[in-house]
Amino acid sequence: MNSKDSTHFAGDAGSRGVVDGGLRDHMSAVYGMMAVAVALTGLVSWAFGTSPALLGMVVDAETGSMRLLGWAALFSPLLIILLMGVAANAMSKAVMQILLYGLATLMGVSLSGIFVVYTGASIASTFLVTAGAFAGLSLYGYTTKRDLSAIGAFLVMGLIGLILASIVNLFLQSGAMGFALNVAGIAIFAGLTAWDTQKIKQIYLEHRGSASAEDIGKAAVWGALSLYLDFVNLFLHLLKLMGQKK
């Protein structure tokens, strides 16, 4: 809670309790939706990655080329994020929540290949490491009094650089560059986890008295989406470093 909010509640313990309770409910909703999205991605990726019949709907086993479902699963999540951003005002919270879970399902399809490349034990251990790191980073973002907005702007620029460098390395296929990108990716998404958590908290505190319950609910969906993307990307970068290939 920043100094402005501390001053506001300093003389009214009852109001503080009400807002703290509202903030807890809001964050619980965010983490709850994020957890469902992560679970959906995990279950779908496992189902497709361990079933030759389902995996064959994504990738041609003989040629290795992507099928229509594979291309749809790869690009549809980005389109869903753009749709949610452009039409958020016209959507209800329920529709946004459905889109979040649809995105998570498609991400599961697109990530099914990890079960072909890596052992199940290394995927499970990396998931546990990711979950522990994410919990600590998110807790830090929630409790710290330090303003992370400046760091957040730097991290966003770093993310753009990471994406561009990753595209370049698709052509270079440099192992050293790939290792450096994974290390940078871990650092960037670790920082984004803390920053996004603080931002979710601040948005609620700034709009709790003026926004409708529906708008607060939609903000919770956006928060869940942000943390979901942080978690998945942190997991993938850790898997590339820690994962044991078959």
**What pLDDT, on the 0 to 100 scale, is given for residue 39?**
98
Q: Is residue 3 part of a domain?
A: no
Residue 194 lies in a domain: yes
Distance CA 190, CA 205 (A): 23
Residue-wise burial string across 72-86, b where 16 or more C-beta atoms lie within 10 A, e elsewhere:
bbbebbeebeeebee
- When pLDDT is averaged across residues 69-84 and rounded to a whole number, the result is 94
**Residue matched to tokens 């503080």:** 16
Q: Interior CA angle at 116 toward 115 and 119, to 5°? A: 60
Whole-angstrom distance, CA of residue 33 vs CA of residue 101: 9
Sequence letter at residue 233:
N
Per the structure, the count of domains in the chain is 1
> Per-residue pLDDT for 75 more than 80?
yes
Which segment of 60-74, 182-196, 232-246 scores lowest on mean pLDDT? 60-74
Contact 39, 231 (CB under 8 A): no
52 vs 127: CA distance, rounded Å: 23
CB half-sphere exposure, 50, CA atoms < 13 A:
9
Q: Is residue 8 part of a domain?
A: no
- pLDDT value, residue 19: 59
Q: Are 77 and 138 in contact, with CB atoms under 8 Å apart?
A: no
The answer as to whether 7 is a domain residue is no
d(CA 73, CA 105): 9
User: Does a structural domain hold residue 5?
Assistant: no
Confidence band for 20, pLDDT divided at 50, 70 and 90: confident
pLDDT of residue 60: 87
Per the structure, the complete domain to which residue 155 belongs is given by 13-242
182-223 pLDDT, tens digit each = 999 999 999 999 999 999 999 999 988 888 999 999 999 999
SS3 label, residue 245: strand
Residue 113 in domain: yes
Is 115 among the domain residues? Answer: yes
**For the ranges 10-24, 88-102, 167-181, which has the lowest average pLDDT?**
10-24
Flag whether 205 is in a domain. yes
Q: What is the secondary structure of 108-143 as a DSSP string?
A: HHHTTTHHHHB-HHHHHHHHHHHHHHHHHHHHHHHH
Over the stretch 126-168, which tens digit does the pLDDT of each residue have? 999 999 999 999 999 999 999 999 899 899 999 999 999 999 9
Q: Could you report the per-residue pLDDT of 82-126, keeping only the tens digit for each? A: 999 999 989 999 999 999 999 999 999 999 999 999 999 999 999
Q: Is the pLDDT of residue 17 over 80?
A: no
Residue 61's pLDDT is what?
Answer: 80
